[in-house]
Amino acid sequence: MQKQQINWLTFEQLSDSLVHSPKKVLISFYTDWCVYCHKMHREVFTNPEVVRRVNAAYYAVKFDAESTDAIHFDGQLFLNRRATKRRKGFHDIALLLGSRNGQFNVPVTLLLDPDFRMIHRSFQYLDSKKLLELL
């Protein structure tokens, strides 16, 4: 039997999906070096009940906050303007959506309504029980 997984989308896929069939959105910002991000993706986002609830009621986006990819979303272009040869820097879309008091600290989990208005922002590790409460 194949293990169920969250149907992760890109921001571009999310933009198209929201136009055709509005639904709530879950966004997970992570980095390669974030231990708690990896723990969430390994333990929480594979929990069968979390997978079931997210896939049923949300579009889900998992995004590396240090990505250097150009993102076209909602008619705008987002870049990682902070990346240098020595340092990756955080992507503009991560900073726009996931900053708190001018700071960006991963993991960041966002829950938004179908009109992309913030329902909840979390700036810490969420275990399965806590995430299920928020969903």
pLDDT at 88: 85
- The pLDDT tens digits for 57-98 are 999 999 999 999 999 888 889 999 887 777 788 999 999 999
- The pLDDT tens digits for 28-62 are 999 999 999 999 999 999 999 999 999 999 999 99
Query: Cβ(119)–Cβ(113) under 8 Å?
Result: yes
Q: Which residue has the higher pLDDT, 55 or 2?
A: 55
> Does residue 1 have a pLDDT over 60?
no
What separation in angstroms does the CA of 9 have from each of 27, 84, 85, 133, 134? Answer: 10, 27, 28, 23, 20
Q: Which band of pLDDT confidence, cut at 50, 70 and 90, is reported for residue 127?
A: very high
Query: Cβ(3)–Cβ(46) under 8 Å?
Result: yes
Average pLDDT over residues 115-132: 94
Specify the length of the chain in residues.
135
Q: Which band of pLDDT confidence, cut at 50, 70 and 90, is reported for residue 2?
A: low
- Show the 3-state SS of the chain: CCCCCCCEECHHHHHHHHHHCCCEEEEEEECCCCHHHHHHHHHHCCCHHHHHHHHHHEEEEEEECCCCCCEEECCEEECCCCCCCCCCCCCHHHHHHHCECCECCCCEEEEECCCCCEEEEECCCCCHHHHHHHC
pLDDT at 58: 97
Q: What is the dihedral of CA 77, 67, 8, 39, to 10 degrees?
A: -150
